[in-house]
Chain A
Amino acid sequence: MIRFEHVVVRYRRATGAAVDDVTFSVPRARVTAVVGPNGSGKSTLVRALLRTVPLASGDIVVDDIPVRSMDRRAAARRVAVVPQREENVFPLPVREFIALGRYPHQDVWRAAIDTDDAAIDRAVRLAGVVPLLDRSTAELSGGEWQRVRIARALAQGADALVLDEPTTFLDIAHEMAMFELFALLAREGQALLVVSHQLNLVARFAHQLVLLHRGRVVAAGSPSDVMRASILEQVYDWPIVITRDPAVGAPSLLPLRRGTHVL
């Protein structure tokens, strides 16, 4: 549904490319995870998709249409993005905050139409934020705030959902609940693209991983293809062993203390 085709992004006054010849696709009904160390170009890919940074070359294609030739609202109707950070400067009632997800479907004066209400209801149920609707966004915990932001993205009614570091500030239970939600959305047929630091977590939930290093794809494929000690040690420049998650057998990464001898 989304294809990154030889994408190159250069920031002004930077020497190298932040993203260099990256190619992969994000299919429907699957969770695709982009992983990699800090500065590997993960968030730049999201910014390129949002067109807040220009492409130096290559293309990002959504449903076979290049994003750059798409009307911005039309793009927002197909792909919803939950950016990494969002500050709550002017708090809103949660209900109104989520309703802003309908912005790409509305023209200047029409504030709400029936399909809007249906889309908002569905988003609110999927994200599990019904009990929060009458609160203010200023009164939410970190986990609730993330869910409310995801509800707004779901209200966009797009077929693809892109999330940049969605669980950074969450504890284990909220983190797991978030990924269970992504799995559910994928079962519902959505294309999910999750940018994450949490390798062990995405190894359990994602159908495919894309590992970035210095702006380039160094490995892509199923979690067990990508989660190899030989690859990860090189990318993270740290001694690593790969074990198996005792419950489901998914590959799991364990960074070692320096000087440890693996038995």
Chain B
Amino acid sequence: MRRAGFWTASVLALILLALAAVVYGAVPLSLHDVAAAITGQGDPATIAIVRTLRAPRVLLAILVGAGLGMSGAALQGSLRNALAEPYLLGVSGGAAVGAVCAVALGVSGAAALPLAAFAGAAIATIATLLVARAAGGRADPRVLLMAGVIIGAFANAAIMIALADAPPNRIRGALWWMMGSVADADWTRVAWLFVYVVIGAALLLWFGRDIDVLALGEEPAAGLGLDVERAGRRIFLLSALLAAATVAAAGLVGFVGLVVPHLVRMAGVRRHRTLIAGSALVGGVLVVAADLAARVLRPPAELPLGAVTALIGVPFFLVQLRRLA
């Protein structure tokens, strides 16, 4: 019952928040206007606002949330670490460095940028694991996290240096990457993020049972016949790819991957296949809500999306950390 209620509530929340995000804005629209604009009726200005500004923005927010939620769920399960998530592990930071370098080198386009980001994310991931091992082992969740935060700080510094003397018209600015935003969403970016999120989701769901087994621990998983090293690597890379794609599309949006899987577990979901699917859904809800809040809280200014998610995530992180101690 609790689970059925969870799925219904999440889908409803997603629909209502998405509608609210399309209706609300500098030019307020009615639901009627929106419906008309989607079917191609009404005045051209409204159609333009809905179709080229607000609809892609909402969809991008949903996809970013879905990608980060799934990435966090898979990382937490496979690393057996309730505090794992792409932003805190430095994976997102590495992705941002990769994307910034690609942009600085003149590579652009919504298709290629995620690949550059993925290269950066993979390097950051390996660096985090090596630092954690040198500092006393991956087995301690806090050590791994510390390593991730260090790599993330290094990535932030690298972005600021890389963008210090970049021409403003070519690069959207260091702030955009480091604070995250879905404000300049367009359909190409939505489409490409959709492709990456769908591929990542399909593969993670395919390996979902392996994550259940990995979550038991290295030796129990080996006892059940899982090739622990290979499965762990595969899931880590898939999680990094998902996170990297969201970073390439919307910059660094932290804590979504941390908060979302815990919310889904609170609803009684345990198996990773369902957990990953639920995290995609709830991730979408959370980022749409955060983006809406970013626009509503201090109009006409827009708050950075990553700042809003951090405001939600930091207290949550502290609660989890306390539980761990």
**A residues near B, CB below 8 A?**
47, 50-52, 71-77, 80-87, 89-90, 92-93, 96, 100-101, 103-104, 106, 108, 111, 149, 153, 156
In the complex, the chain B residue whose C-beta lies closest to that of A90 is B215
* CA A85 to CA B217, docked complex, whole Å: 9
Please report whether the interface of chain A is mostly helix, strand, loop or mixed according to DSSP. mixed
* B33 on interface, CB distance cutoff 8 Å: no
Whether B82 contacts A86 by the Cβ 8 Å rule is no
Task: Establish whether residues B220 and A83, one from each chain, have CB atoms under 8 Å apart when the complex forms.
Answer: yes
CB neighbours (8 Å) of B271 from chain A are 96
Q: Let me know if A52 and B225 touch, CB within 8 A.
A: no
Which of the 9-residue segments B91-99, B206-214, B249-257 touches chain A? B206-214
B3 on the A face (CB < 8 A): no
Name A108's contact: one of B77, B209, B224, B227 (CB within 8 Å). Answer: B209
B219 contacts A76, C-beta separation under 8 Å: no
CB contacts (< 8 Å) of A153 on chain B: these are 223
B216 shortest CB reach to chain A, Å: 7
Chain B contact residue count (CB 8 A cutoff): 25
A-contact 0/1 string along B70-101, CB 8 Å cutoff: 00000011001110000000000000000000
Name 20 interchain pairs, CB-CB below 8 A, sorted by A: A47-B219, A72-B227, A76-B224, A80-B223, A84-B219, A85-B217, A85-B219, A86-B219, A87-B80, A87-B217, A89-B215, A90-B82, A90-B215, A93-B270, A96-B270, A100-B212, A100-B213, A100-B224, A103-B225, A106-B209
15 new A-B pairs (CB below 8 Å) besides A80-B223, A93-B270, A111-B209? A51-B222, A52-B218, A74-B225, A81-B219, A81-B222, A83-B223, A86-B216, A87-B80, A87-B217, A90-B77, A90-B82, A90-B265, A103-B209, A103-B212, A103-B226
Nearest Cβ distance between residue A118 and chain B, in whole angstroms?
19
List of B residues within 8 angstroms of A84 by Cβ: 219
Q: How far is the CA of A16 from the CA of B137 in the complex (A)?
A: 23
Instruction: Name the residue on B nearest A84 (C-beta).
Output: B219
Point out the residue from A50, A103, A108, A149 that lies within 8 Å of B213, measured CB to CB. Answer: A103
Give A72 to B218 CA distance when docked, in angstroms.
Answer: 14
CA distance A153 to B222 in the complex (A): 12
User: What residues of B have a CB within 8 angstroms of the CB of A81 in the complex?
Assistant: 219, 222-223
B14 CB-CB contact with A under 8 Å: no
CA distance A86 to B217 in the complex (A): 7
Set A71, A89, A106: member contacting B81, Cβ < 8 A: A89
7 smallest CB-CB distances across A and B, nearest first, come from A76-B225, A83-B219, A81-B223, A73-B225, A104-B225, A50-B222, A72-B225
